Amino acid sequence: MDAAPNKTAADPGPLHAPVYSARIECPLCHEAERQILVRPRRTRPLRIEGDLFRWIPVWSGSRPADFGLDLRPLDLGLLACTACGFTESQETYRTFQQGSYPNSRTLVQFLIHKGAVHYEPLKTLAEAVRAGAADPGSRLALHLMAVAVQLLPPPEIRDEQRIGLMAHRLARFYTDRLLYGGPCWDAPDSVSLPATSPLASTLDEPIRRFEGLRGSWPKIPLGYDGALDLASHGYGRAAARGFAGKTPLRRLELDFARLQVVSETRDMEKLRALLMGILTQSRSLLEALRKEASLPASSLEGLDALRKLEDQIQRLRTMERKSSEALQTLASDARGGA
């Protein structure tokens, strides 16, 4: 551990670079180590042709020469503590609050008191994530760690929503490396997936290495389908359980996240049912919110609330539009296939 006076001293690097490196303190065990962080605004989404829900982020306004690292946007956005194993999204890691993180007490139990990082599968994965390392194996290990940490508690007290989110991230990482592998800057607005990704081989060695973890993690998702399957089940169980679905909008957003995963598994029955549900719910919720927003805002507080409502309405409208587009696509695919 470095003797830095400030445990989170940042080295922001050139301001135009989309990534920077900084020493970040782990919110669970308080060890600080160097991590690679991303500036989220320096990426833009690139649509995959013929797919409403799948997209790849690319760097915006930067070239690799500007920052000198062979890092793709989907390599980043997760931070891991190799001392205790805690791994989370960059945002959650940095704003972590014990009280609001659903299973923080359970994770403290497993990671701090039981030292889960000294046992497989976390041991091998944490060793593969060398501080600040940018190689594909290290980036894959980071994504697998994020899922492994959420699978530590027994099934009945797992945070299924986080399992869904982290497995979804892992699936996106595989989409980028194994299926797309195209340029991650200066790209057109949409791309099609090539027959073979030019980057797929970068994961051959680490995937072989992590195959050795099947003894401690039999279903370790070492491919796109496995990750997608885990994400779909996680979101599904989270929705069924009502975990974290505190407001109707949160529940809908969870369903919408699940929709993206289900659309890729090509389970058409499930997809249609989910779409119909989202469309009905988002329309009735939209109506209720619009009524609320049309009430006069009599104070500054009222204006803030109004802005928040307008933001919610915007999010709902996007969900409504995408769901209805997807239903139309499904209907025309069914006609074309008949």
Binding site for Zn ion (CB under 5 A): 26, 28-29, 81, 83-84, 86
Q: Pick between residue 21 and residue 35 the one whose CB is nearest to Zn ion.
A: 35
* CB of 87 or CB of 260, closer to Zn ion: 87
Q: At which residue do the structure tokens 């409208």 appear? A: 317
Give whichever of 112 and 289 is closer to Zn ion, judged by the CB atom.
112
Tokens of 61: 């306004």
Q: Which two tokens stand for residue 53?
A: 């829900």
- Nearest distance, CB of residue 148 and Zn ion, angstroms: 14
Write the single-letter amino acid at 179. L
- Structure token digits, residue 78: 């997760």
Cβ-contact 164, 258 below 8 angstroms: yes
**H or E segment at 55?**
strand 55-59
Name which of 31 and 135 has its Cβ closer to Zn ion: 31
- Least Cβ distance, residue 314 to Zn ion (angstroms): 37
Q: How far is the CB of 110 from Zn ion (least distance, A)?
A: 12
> Which DSSP helix (H) or strand (E) runs through 25?
strand 19-25
User: What is the nearest approach in angstroms of Zn ion to the Cβ of residue 320?
Assistant: 41
Task: Kindly tell me which of 29 and 244 has the beta carbon lying closer to Zn ion.
Answer: 29
Sheet arrangement for strand 19-25:
10-11, 19-25, 32-38
Q: Residue 160's CB: how many other CB atoms inside 10 A? A: 22
The residues near 260 (Cβ < 8 Å, ≥ 6 apart) are 53, 54, 168
Cα(first)–Cα(last) distance of the chain, in Å? 64
- Nearest approach in angstroms of CB 149 to Zn ion is 11
Encoding tokens for residue 26? 């782990």
CA 261 to chain centre: 12
**CA 63 from centre of chain:** 24
How far is CA 185 from each of CA 18, 41, 201, 224, rounded to the nearest angstrom? 11, 14, 20, 23
Quote the least distance from Cβ 219 to Zn ion, whole Å: 25
Among residues 28 and 275, whose Cβ is nearest to Zn ion? 28
Q: Which is nearer to Zn ion, 149 or 165 (CB)?
A: 149
In the complex, least distance from residue 136 CB atom to Zn ion, rounded to whole angstroms: 24
Rounded-to-integer distance, Cα 218 and Cα 34, Å = 31
Smallest gap from Cβ 300 to Zn ion, in A, equals 41
Q: Pick the closer one to Zn ion by CB: 25 or 229.
A: 25
